[in-house]
Structure 1
Amino acid sequence: MDGFRYDKNDRLDAVSLAMAMSQHHYQSAFKEKAVYGELHDLERTYQEFNEDIVRAKNRLHQKRCYLSYIYSIIQSIKHGKKP
Structure 2
Amino acid sequence: GGFFQDEVEERKILAVPMLFQDNEHIGQGRMTLEEIIAKLDSNSAEKDAAVINAKDAFDVLVIGGGPAGGTAAIYAARKGIKTGIVAER
| TM-score past 0.5 threshold | no
More strand by share: 2
TM-score, normalised with respect to structure 2: 0.23
TM-score by length of 1: 0.24
Greater share of residues in helix: 1
